[in-house]
Homo-oligomer: A and B are copies of this chain.
Amino acid sequence: MSTTNLAVIPGDGIGPEVTAEALKVLEVAANIASGSASAGPVKFEQTRYDLGAERYLATGEVLPESVLAEIKEQDAILLGAVGGKPNDPNLPPGILERGLLLKLRFELDHYVNLRPSRLFPGATSPLSPAVLDKGEIDFVVVREGTEGLYTGNGGAMRVGTPHEVATETSVNTAYGVERVVRDAFARSQARPRKKLTLVHKTNVLVNAGSLWWRITQQVAEEFPDVTVDYLHIDAVMIFLATDPARFDVIVTDNIFGDIITDLAAAITGGIGLAASGNINSSREFPSMFEPVHGSAPDIAGQQKADPTAAILSGSLLLEHLGRPEAAAAIDAAVLADLSERGPEPRTTSEVGDAIAARVVG
């Protein structure tokens, strides 16, 4: 039996509640992995880290260096959600995002931000039947996670005066673009449709756009069986609303990926179902798995949150650890649960229990 050292960051708001359910399901799935052909069962050795708004407000600490150093030694990370009350004057925008969430993505070199979008049967899409009838929605967004507008490369001068100038610089490197594009090609190749759509805004962002475009053409030569196309970010908006079934794998930069994946989550039944992985594909550092949703402080501690996105993030974690059967067992359990959800509300832990009970090897 192999031991996986798992860092657990429950975080703020509904984070601890959904994380508890994700761990519950993960334990069950890890056990049934014993029957799997590819590998034995997984034993998780958990270490909890209290990080987030609460810790910051109490101590002023966001991510102490010693904690970061410990986390770097773990095999994988499960994160619930971090974030305080909206517009808390003691918590300026960016403190937790840049000091914790993005800091982890950057320090652990999470260059593949993976976000699958699938309309599970039983989930409610805001799209019309005419759009949904065009085909099954089942695509993956591979969002670059360590470059672009997220590098903190901005500044301001004459702040507070009528002559203030504030800049934000998107930084893109051949090294950074190539590795995420190659990862996206590999993921496309492993899927039945083998289709990759590069998304950018090459007609305006000519420098970064040209880099993304040229690298995609180059890497495409290594994957002759993958069909490649290109769309501007604005055109993607139209297709996600009118024909999302056309997408298979999308590869794009950090900010466009952020925008696309929230729309993708919305059209596939909402952010309550959207999982994500912050992946270091070269495996130098632990990868981190988290639901796309935030900490929702307004419903925290009331057992009202839907833990499904956190549970599905656990499935991505198992997949990343080389346990595809265990991951598939979670997906199947979620699918079964979703297709039988009735109108009566369930508590967070009832949903977790129901899904855990459906996990079979």
B-side contacts of A128, CB under 8 Å: 125-129
* Sample of 17 further A-B pairs with CB below 8 A, known A128-B128, A162-B174: A94-B209, A126-B128, A127-B128, A127-B241, A149-B170, A154-B206, A163-B173, A163-B175, A166-B207, A166-B211, A167-B172, A235-B262, A238-B262, A238-B265, A238-B270, A241-B263, A263-B263
Q: Mark A167-210, 1 if CB is under 8 A from B, else 0.
A: 11111111100100000000000000000000001111111111
Q: A258 contacts the other chain (Cβ, under 8 Å)?
A: yes
**Chain B contacts of A164 at CB under 8 A?**
173-174, 211
B-chain residues with CB within 8 Å of residue A154 when the two chains form the complex: 170, 205-208
- Among candidates B97, B242, B259, residue contacting A203 with C-beta atoms closer than 8 Å: B97
Alpha-carbon separation in the docked complex, A203 to B168 (Å) = 13
Q: How far is the CA of A149 from the CA of B214 in the complex (A)?
A: 21
Kindly state the separation between the CA atoms of A208 and B255 in the bound complex, as whole angstroms.
14
Stoichiometry, copies per complex: 2
A127 and B153 alpha carbons, distance in the complex (Å): 38
Q: How many residues of A contact B (CB 8 A)?
A: 70
Given the complex, which residues of B lie within 8 Å of A93, measured CB to CB? 202-203, 206, 209-210, 213
The verdict on A262 contacting B234 (CB below 8 Å), with A94-B204, A128-B126, A206-B98 known, is: yes
Chain A, range 268-306, C-beta contacts under 8 Å to B: 270-271
What is the distance, in angstroms, from A162's C-beta to the closest C-beta of chain B? 5
Closest to A200 in B: B93
- Structural contact, B149 and A161, CB atoms closer than 8 A: no
Residue in B158, B170, B213, B259 whose beta carbon sits within 8 Å of that of A167 in the complex: B170
Residue on B nearest A215 in the bound complex, by CB: B164
Task: Enumerate chain B residues within 8 angstroms of A158, measured Cβ to Cβ.
Answer: 174
Bound-state CA distance A262–B162 (Å) is 32
A32 beta carbon closer than 8 Å to chain B: no
Q: Specify which chain B residues have a CB less than 8 angstroms from the CB of A238 in the assembled complex.
A: 262-263, 265-266, 270-271
> Closest CB-CB distance, A56 to chain B, in whole Å?
14
CA distance A202 to B154 in the complex (A): 12
Shortest distance in angstroms between A298's beta carbon and chain B's nearest beta carbon?
Answer: 14
CA of A169 to CA of B234, assembled, Å: 19
A237 near B211 (CB under 8 angstroms)?
no
Q: Chain B residues with Cβ under 8 A from A202's Cβ?
A: 93-94
Whether the Cβ atoms of A165 and B156 lie closer than 8 Å is no
Rounded to whole Å, the gap between the CB of A201 and the closest CB of chain B is 7
Would you call A233 an interface residue if the criterion is a C-beta within 8 Å of the partner chain's C-beta atoms?
A: yes
- Nearest first, the 6 A-B pairs at minimum CB distance are A237-B263, A234-B262, A164-B174, A241-B266, A94-B206, A154-B207
